[in-house]
Every structure is written in structure tokens, then in C-alpha cells.
Structure 1
Amino acid sequence: MTLIRRIDASDWARLLPLLTDRWGAPYIVKHHTRFDLDGLPGLLATTRDGGLLGLLTWTDGADGEAELLTLDALTRRQGTGGTLLDAYLDRARPAGVRRVRVTVTNDQLTGLKLLQRRGFRIEAVRRGAVDAARAVKPQIPEVGEDGISLHDELDLCLGLAGADPTAGGGLR
């Protein structure tokens, strides 16, 4: 059974090395912006005995918009990513989040399928954005998942019907 809970300050000692390993540094670069991972709001997926299965982080923006920053399932195709994403969306609506944005790279085909199955729509393609991000973060590899050359960013968005407009627009 998968348990989902909020990330708290005491979790970051074990999460930051994991995220640094998976993302090449303790930060990510998306759409020309650097996001430090330490201390972000997020959700953890764990086993009953506390074993880590995955995590999702985000940032709350203005006017009820949020951006998902990382989604990591430690084992692929076990449902962890979908469980985390669904748990986030279930919490976001009553918190007043009206729109969720996520950026993926052109190699993340599994992530694209996961997002589109939940109603996310491609809103923009930024050709060469990953190439430009390497100037800020040289740890970004040239080749990504499934041997696909890594060059572009795709923005996907989801409007959340039924979001509570009086709730403030964030999950922090």
C-alpha cells in the first residue's frame, strides 16, 4: 500500500541527495529560471514502514496558478507517479489552485502520457530551451530517456474545475 504525505523540513536531509542524484544538482532549470529544490513544498509516496517510493514538488504562483517542478518515481511503471499526481490534484482544487503548469523535456514520453491521461494539454513547445539551460546547468545530459537527444521543453497545463476561489490559490 502506498501512503502519501506532505514533505516536512525533517525530510530534506534524505531527499536532497536523492534529488541531486536524479537531477544532476540540487536545483533544476526550467524556462530560463533556476529553482532550488531544498525546502520546496511537496508530497512523498512511501511504504507503510516509511520506505521512499517517490516524490513530487511544486511552487505556488500568482492568481491561483501552480507549477509542478519535479515528479520522481523510484521504480518505473508501478503507479507511483500517477498516485502522487492524483494526490496533488485532489489537494490543489480545495486549496484554490485554478491552473497547474508543468514543463517536461522532449525525451520524457512516459511523463507526457501520464500528464495527458489526466487532462493536461500541451500549451507551448520551446525549441532549444534545454540546450540554452545547459549554459546555466552543465549537468543536463545531451541524451535523455530512451536514447533521445535532449533539446526542447514542452509546457503542459491543466485547468482545475471546481477549485475553491476563496481558498487563496496555493498549497503551501
Structure 2
Amino acid sequence: MIKSIPENDRYNIDHFLISHWGSEEMYIHTGRYNLRTLSGFYIEIEGEVVAALTYHLHDDCLEIISIDSTKENEGHGTALLTKAEQHAVDKGRDQVQLITTNDNLNAIQFYLKRHYRLVCVKLDAVKEARKCKPSIPLVNENGLLVQDELLFSKKLQLSVLR
């Protein structure tokens, strides 16, 4: 069910990612990332991409750059997160990190339920990201200011997941 994003023939996955993020560029305090070049995993149902996760491997952890699903509460996000955690262990990393913004209450709850811990708040980090990507909204659809980045982390037990 879960497939690795292929290096070639990424058209459907790239289209999915860009339609969810507004462009191929991601700007977060850990760096600038191009979604078209990142590795990751996806779920396809009846020829349609319904969920995808991209990541970047650092020396000490696997950082999730994006995770999206068109069908909520069907387990796709959890399956992709679990796959990324296993991949981190396979690559010798004992930690997964990810960043979301202060307004994304659904994501915050999702990560906390899966035992991720809030380890850092980068105040006004979104203001810096807007300098490179002005399309990032000032306010979300619920009227919440989009201003800070929240760094979540999960320590993995290498022996348990192998």
C-alpha cells in the first residue's frame, strides 16, 4: 500500500505535493527544500495519490518536511509516519523531527497522539519564511495568526523497531 517516491516518473506525486503546498519550495528554519527532489513515501488508491510524506536525512535524525492526506481519519497519515520512523531506524537514525506552524491545531494534536514531543518554538519564524515565500498566509482559514514554527521530535528505540 505504501510506496517509495521514485526518483523518476514523479509527475503525480509532484502535482499532489505542489497542490497542497502552493509551490515546490518549502522554507522552514532548518533550511530551504524543494519538494520535487525530496525522498519520501506515498499512498495511491485507484491510481490517485491520496497521501504523501517527504523527508530529509540529517546526520542525527530524519526530518519530515511535508505530510499530507486528502482523506482524513483513514489511517494514511499514521501509516506514512510509521513508515518514516521505520526508515529512520533502517538508516541508523534514532530520532524523527518535524515542524508545523502554531495555527495547525489538527497537526499538533495528530503528532501529540503519536508520542511526538514539542521540543522548541521558533517565534516569528514564519515571518522569515514569508520573505522567501510571500504566499504563506498571515491568517489561516479559522482566523488564527500564522507566525511561529513548532518543532516536534520523537526518540525511536532502534532495537524495538528493527
Q: Same fold (TM over 0.5)?
A: yes
Report the counterpart of residue 71 of structure 1 in structure 2: 67
Classify 1:32/1:59 alpha carbon distance in 2 versus 1 (closer, same or farther; 3 Å).
closer
TM value normalised by structure 1: 0.85
Q: Where in structure 2 are the equivalents of 1:74-153 lying within 5 Å?
A: 74-153=70-149
**Which structure would you say has the larger RCO, counting Cα contacts within 8 Å and 6 or more residues apart?**
1
For 2:22 and 2:113, how far apart are their aligned partners in 1?
28
Classify 1:146/1:114 alpha carbon distance in 2 versus 1 (closer, same or farther; 3 Å).
same
Question: What displacement does 1:83 show?
Answer: 1.5
Question: What displacement does 1:116 show?
Answer: 1.2
Q: 1:10 aligns with which of 8, 12, 37?
A: 8
**What letter matches 1:124 in structure 2?**
C
Report the counterpart of residue 57 of structure 2 in structure 1: 60
**What letter matches 1:121 in structure 2?**
R
For 1:67 and 1:93, how far apart are their aligned partners in 2?
13
1:50-80 per-residue CA deviation (whole Å, 9 max, x = no partner) reads 32110000000013x1100000101223322
Structure 1: gaps spanning 5 or more residues:
165-172
Structure 2: gaps spanning 5 or more residues:
none
Give the RMSD, CA atoms, in angstroms: 1.8
Report the counterpart of residue 168 of structure 1 in structure 2: none
Moved over 6 A (4+): none
Residue 26 (str. 1) matches residue 33 (str. 2): no
For 2:141 and 2:86, how far apart are their aligned partners in 1?
29
Question: What displacement does 1:35 show?
Answer: 0.5
Residue 50 (str. 1) matches residue 47 (str. 2): yes
Q: Which moved more, 1:151-160 or 1:7-16?
A: 7-16
Identity over the aligned pairs, expressed in percent? Answer: 29
**What letter matches 1:56 in structure 2?**
L
3-state DSSP class of the match of 2:8? Answer: helix
Question: What displacement does 1:152 show?
Answer: 0.6
3-state DSSP class of the match of 2:63? Answer: strand
For 1:30 and 1:18, how far apart are their aligned partners in 2?
20
Equivalenced residue count is: 160
Classify 1:129/1:94 alpha carbon distance in 2 versus 1 (closer, same or farther; 3 Å).
same
Instruction: Answer whether contact 1:6 1:44 (CA < 8 A) is retained.
Output: yes
Instruction: Answer whether contact 1:108 1:145 (CA < 8 A) is retained.
Output: no
3-state DSSP class of the match of 2:126? Answer: helix
Q: Which moved more, 1:126-135 or 1:85-94?
A: 85-94
Instruction: Answer whether contact 2:12 2:49 (CA < 8 A) is retained.
Output: no
